[in-house]
C-alpha cells in the first residue's frame, strides 16, 4: 500500500518542484525565485525610478529659467557637495558589511555597521540642510524661480528618502538589540540594504545632472 505524503511536504502552487512549502517561515518564495517581501521592494524601487525620472526631467527643463533670481551654478559649492556625496557613497559599503555580518550570524558587527551607516546618512542630511540654508541666505528660495523650485523639489525629495532610510536603519538596529533579527531573518536586513543602495545610486545621478552638468 502506498504511503500518503506528509501534507507539510507538499509544494504549494508556484513553488519550485520538490521545494518544501514554507508555511511557517517569515517569507514565501515566489515563482521568480525570491521572496514576496524582496519582490515587493523591487517593485517599489521600480516605481521610484519612474518618479525620480520625472523629477530629473523636470529639473532639466527648468534649470535655466532663473527669472530674476541667481543662477544655480553660481551658488553651488561643488567641493562641499562632493564631500557630502562621498560620505553617502561610503555608507553603501558599510551597509554591505552589515548584511554580510548578519548572514554569518555576527550580531555585534551587524549593529555596529547599521549604526555607522545611519550616522553617515545623518551627516549627508546635515550637509544638505546646511547647503539649503546657504542658498536661502543668497536669495534663492523655493519660489524664487522655476529653476530653484525644480532644484529644491528634486534634491529635497531625495533627502526625504535618505531620512526614511535612516529611520529604517535605526528600526532594524533596535530590532536587533531586542533579539528580533536572527541569522535566519537576514533577508530583512538585505531588503533595507536594497533601499539604501537605491538612494545612493539615485544621488550619483542627481549629483551629476544637477551639480556637474552646466
Question: 8-64: per-residue pLDDT in tens?
Answer: 444 444 444 444 444 334 456 666 668 888 999 999 999 999 999 999 999 999 999
State the DSSP code for 27.
-
Say if residue 6 is in the same domain as residue 90: no
Q: Is the pLDDT of residue 206 over 80?
A: yes
The answer to whether 110 and 98 are in contact (CB under 8 A) is yes
Dist CA 139 CA 75 (whole Å) = 10
Domain count, the chain: 2
Question: Which grid coordinates are listed for 198?
Answer: 537605491
The answer to whether 61 and 160 are in contact (CB under 8 A) is no
Distance of CA 144 to the CA centre of its chain: 30
Say if residue 109 is in the same domain as residue 7: no
Note the pLDDT of residue 173.
Answer: 97
For the ranges 63-72, 73-82, 90-99, which has the lowest average pLDDT? 63-72
Residue 3 banded pLDDT, cuts 50, 70, 90? very low
Say if residue 207 is in the same domain as residue 111: yes
Question: Which grid coordinates are listed for 193?
Answer: 540594504
Note the pLDDT of residue 125.
Answer: 98
Say if residue 105 is in the same domain as residue 181: yes
Instruction: Calculate the alpha carbon distances from 107 to 26, 96, 114, 167, 182 in Å.
Output: 19, 14, 10, 19, 8
**Boundaries of domain holding 9:** 1-33
Note the pLDDT of residue 31.
Answer: 66
DSSP-derived 3-state class of residue 35: strand
CATH number for the domain that contains residue 101:
1.20.120.80
Say if residue 29 is in the same domain as residue 106: no
Say if residue 82 is in the same domain as residue 177: yes
Q: What is the pTM of this model?
A: 0.83
Amino acid at each position: 500500500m502506498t504511503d500518503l505524503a506528509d501534507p507539510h511536504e507538499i509544494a504549494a502552487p508556484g513553488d519550485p518542484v520538490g521545494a518544501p512549502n514554507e508555511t511557517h517561515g517569515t517569507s514565501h518564495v515566489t515563482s521568480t525565485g525570491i521572496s514576496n517581501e524582496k519582490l515587493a521592494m523591487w517593485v517599489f524601487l521600480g516605481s521610484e525610478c519612474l518618479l525620480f525620472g520625472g523629477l530629473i526631467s523636470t529639473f532639466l527643463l527648468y534649470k535655466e529659467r532663473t527669472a530674476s533670481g541667481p543662477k544655480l551654478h553660481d551658488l553651488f559649492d561643488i567641493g562641499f557637495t562632493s564631500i557630502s556625496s562621498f560620505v553617502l557613497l561610503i555608507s553603501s559599503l558599510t551597509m554591505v558589511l552589515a548584511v554580510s555580518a548578519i548572514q554569518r550570524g555576527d550580531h555585534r558587527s551587524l549593529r555596529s555597521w547599521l549604526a555607522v551607516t545611519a550616522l553617515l546618512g545623518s551627516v549627508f542630511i546635515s550637509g544638505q540642510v546646511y547647503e539649503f540654508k546657504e542658498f536661502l541666505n543668497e536669495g534663492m528660495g523655493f519660489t524664487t524661480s522655476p529653476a530653484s523650485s525644480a532644484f529644491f523639489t528634486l534634491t529635497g525629495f531625495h533627502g526625504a528618502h535618505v531620512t526614511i532610510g535612516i529611520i529604517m536603519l535605526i528600526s532594524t538596529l533596535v530590532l536587533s538589540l531586542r533579539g528580533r533579527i536572527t541569522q535566519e531573518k537576514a533577508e530583512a536586513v538585505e531588503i533595507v540594504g536594497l533601499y539604501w543602495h537605491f538612494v545612493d545610486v539615485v544621488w550619483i545621478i542627481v549629483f551629476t545632472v544637477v551639480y556637474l552638468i552646466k
